[in-house]
Amino acid sequence: MSDPTPLYEARNVYKNYGSVAAVKDVSLTIHAGEIVGLVGDNGAGKSSLVKVLSGVYQPDAGQLIVDGVERHWKSPHDAMLAGVETLYQDSGLALDLTIGANVFLGREKMKPGILGRLGFLAQKEMDAEAAEDLERTGIAVHASKRTVGQLSGGQRQAVAIGRAVAWAQKVIILDEPTNHLGARQAGEVLAVMRAARERGLGVIFISHTLPHILEICDRIVVLRLGSVVRDAPTSTFTAESLLGTITGLHAE
Ligand SMILES: Nc1ncnc2c1ncn2[C@@H]1O[C@H](COP(=O)(O)OP(=O)(O)O)[C@@H](O)[C@H]1O
Ligand SMILES: [Mg+2]
């Protein structure tokens, strides 16, 4: 079998919080142009795994491999520099900043020359580029002079997703991005994920909305009590078997 090298691979990863084993011996691959659904009940370890993949936490054991090279993230910034972008379940937008400033949060552009060295931001340039980036990802949030705090929940989420998709070079991880969204907005988020897949990114999509998972994912990984209990193409699941695998009430 000549499986191409995954964009990102986790091998035998563990993450404990004190005596709580949140992630146990998890192995996972994400290939270019693939959407992988990560599902499991509350407490199954999805967000903990995301935080290991994105550099928020270091694994207690196991390997993280990007393009065939083992990596050790010291911070989320390291993972971002390597092309791995993450939308956390708690999205981390700054409500008092403009949309543009949020898109560039942590990577602000400075004015050229002495002004920049004095800490002056290239605000206009960032606003314009942010609007362009969001438009390119298919997310229509205009008027980037507004602060994120003035936006609706759905629009805020759109900015958070747009930021991640705009920066992602290899992999984008979306932890419950459609939560609290209406049907139309959730549909837009799914469209953004499809566009990211078409750009050749690898996408990890976490959701409790199983129809969305079945609709959009190429492969589904089911976590239960911190471990992978099934990793298989979406076509091998039905709505019933997926639910049964998540809850453990169904023979896999
Ligand atoms: N910061 C933390 N400190 C201690 N325990 C945690 C922390 N975050 C999560 N946990 C525990 O780890 C397990 C996995 O949680 P989590 O990764 O949030 O699961 P999921 O995202 O699938 O709901 C749960 O038992 C949860 O209570
Ligand atoms: Mg979670």
**Residue 24's domain is classified under what CATH number?**
3.40.50.300
Provide the pairing of β-strand 20-30 with 8-17. Answer: antiparallel
Q: Rounded distance, CA 136 to CA 108, Å?
A: 20
Q: Let me know: does 103 contact 121? Beta carbons within 8 Å.
A: no
- Closest listed residue to residue 172, CA positions, set 198, 203, 194, 195: 203
Which residue CA neighbors atom 11 of ligand 1 most closely? 22
Residue 32 domain-assigned?
yes
Residue 144 pLDDT grade (very low, low, confident, very high; cuts 50, 70, 90): low
Q: Give, as one character, the DSSP assignment of residue 9.
A: E
Higher pLDDT, 151 or 66: 66
Residue 63 domain-assigned?
yes
In this prediction, residues 212-231 reach a mean pLDDT of 97
Residue 13 domain-assigned?
yes
In this prediction, residues 43-58 reach a mean pLDDT of 96
Tell me what percent of the residues of the chain surpass a pLDDT of 70: 90
Q: Rounded distance, CA 34 to CA 16, Å?
A: 29
Between the CA of 45 and the centroid of ligand 2 the distance, in Å, is: 7
Residues 6+ apart with CB under 8 A from 113: none
Residues paired with residue 64 on neighbouring β-strands, in sequence order = 10, 71
Q: Give, as one character, the DSSP assignment of residue 110.
A: B
Residue 124 domain-assigned?
no
Q: Rounded distance, CA 178 to CA 190, Å?
A: 9
**Least-confidence region, from 168-177, 178-187, 231-240:** 178-187
Residue 142 pLDDT grade (very low, low, confident, very high; cuts 50, 70, 90): low
Residue 55 lies in domain: 8-94+155-247
Q: Is 48 in the pocket of ligand 1 (CB under 6 A)?
A: yes
Ligand with smallest separation from the Cα of 38: 1
Task: Map tokens 């990596």 to a residue.
Answer: 71
pTM listed for this prediction: 0.84
Higher pLDDT, 218 or 189: 218
Residue 64 domain-assigned?
yes
Residue 120 domain-assigned?
no
- Closest listed residue to residue 137, CA positions, set 92, 88, 94, 197: 197
The overall longest dimension of the chain from CA atoms, in Å, is 66
Which residue CA neighbors atom 12 of ligand 1 most closely? 22
Q: Over the chain, what is the mean pLDDT? A: 87
Span 87-130, pLDDT tens digits: 887 666 666 777 777 777 767 778 787 777 777 778 888 878 77
In this prediction, residues 216-233 reach a mean pLDDT of 98
pLDDT of residue 3: 67
Q: Is 21 in the pocket of ligand 1 (CB under 6 A)?
A: no
Q: Is 207 in the pocket of ligand 1 (CB under 6 A)?
A: no
Domain tally, the chain: 1
Ligand with smallest separation from the Cα of 20: 1
Residue 144 domain-assigned?
no
In this prediction, residues 55-79 reach a mean pLDDT of 96
Q: Let me know: does 28 contact 36? Beta carbons within 8 Å.
A: yes
Q: Let me know: does 37 contact 237? Beta carbons within 8 Å.
A: no
In this prediction, residues 69-90 reach a mean pLDDT of 91
Q: Is 22 in the pocket of ligand 1 (CB under 6 A)?
A: yes
Ligand 1, atom nearest to 23 Cα? 14
Q: Is 81 in the pocket of ligand 1 (CB under 6 A)?
A: no
pLDDT of residue 1: 47
pLDDT of residue 155: 72
Residue 209 domain-assigned?
yes
- Closest listed residue to residue 139, CA positions, set 118, 115, 166: 166
